[in-house]
Structure 1
Amino acid sequence: MPTRTNSAWAAGGTTFAGVLMIVSGIFGIIEGIVALAKDEVSQRVGDYTFKFDLTTWGWIHLIVGILVLLAGAAILKGMEAGRIAGIALACLYVIAQFMWLPYQPLWSIIAIGIGVFVIWALCTDVPRQARP
């Protein structure tokens, strides 16, 4: 059973995670739109295992960004389904950013760190109904 201090820290982390998910979702949507509009914005990668057409990456970022944004909003509303979806989408987001690493290395590393924090915060928080 977590102590009251840990629970308060995790609850604050959950709120912050919800905000981070909304911001990351918006960035993902922008990344997707930019990749769909102009392929020249992101650098092309030569021989890469996870190489997709940048238009495909644009759709991936756009769809994942919208889902992450919606999950972040659900987390801020205190919905348990939003927290569960947030964990799953944050995992998907981290995997997508790992695969996007050669295209935008600095942003991908930052986004992976944000995703790991979000996963931690959502997994360690006690749901609102179960709080003392």
Structure 2
Amino acid sequence: MTATHAPQAHSTKYAWAAGLMVFAAVMLTILGVLDVFRGIMAIAQDEVFLATRNYVFEFDLTGWGWIHLVLGAVAVIVSIGLYQAATWARVAGVAIAGLVIISNFLSLPYYPVWSVIMIAMSGFIIWALCVARKEDLA
């Protein structure tokens, strides 16, 4: 690569990394808001949830509601930091998305299709936050 192509390569990497950060921020915001709504539905004992017997990780539906509500609220707060490309927000975003995967896996019998969708969204968020390198953003 010659010296004349170096600035263009850097700008392409920057655009790609910045685009992934915005993608992760938007997805984490959506995931957080949807998780907050899911938490509110569970706390209100909405009838969209399935009742299963003898589930190993069985919590009261209200308990699952509070877990999803808190994770969703934290996800929205972390996504605000992602819009500013803060390093702490990238680390926290991966952690929150990982916790959302775990909580949705454990609450799978209560709302199976939605849990699988949230797990997939969280996987994309983790991918986007881990692929964009700090030096590409600078």
TM-score, normalization by structure 2: 0.84
CA distance in 1, matches of 2:105, 2:13: 30
Q: Indicate conservation of the 8 Å contact 1:14/1:118, yes or no.
A: no
What does the per-residue CA deviation read over 1:50-106, in whole Å, with 9 as the maximum and x for residues that have no partner?
110001001000000001111111101211111110011111111111111111111
- Find the counterpart in structure 2 of residue 122 from structure 1: 129
Closer, same or farther in 2 for the Cα pair 1:10/1:48, shift >3 Å?
A: farther
CA distance in 1, matches of 2:31, 2:100: 9
Task: Return the letter of the residue paired with 2:73.
Answer: I
Unaligned runs of 5+ in 2: 1-8
- Find the counterpart in structure 2 of residue 111 from structure 1: 118
Task: Return the letter of the residue paired with 1:37.
Answer: A
CA distance in 2, matches of 1:102, 1:41: 12
Of 88-97 and 31-40, deviating more is: 31-40
Q: 2:79 aligns with which of 72, 83, 90?
A: 72
Describe how 1:33-112 pairs up with structure 2 within 5 A.
33-112=40-119
CA distance in 2, matches of 1:114, 1:8: 22
**2:20 is aligned with 1:13:** yes
Unaligned runs of 5+ in 1: none
CA distance in 2, matches of 1:6, 1:93: 29
CA distance in 2, matches of 1:26, 1:52: 22
Q: Indicate conservation of the 8 Å contact 1:42/1:103, yes or no.
A: yes
Q: Indicate conservation of the 8 Å contact 1:39/1:55, yes or no.
A: no
The percent identity for this pair of structures is 41
Task: Return the letter of the residue paired with 1:38.
Answer: Q
Task: Name which one, 1 or 2, has greater alpha-carbon Rg.
Answer: 2
CA distance in 2, matches of 1:38, 1:64: 18
Closer, same or farther in 2 for the Cα pair 1:57/1:77, shift >3 Å?
A: same
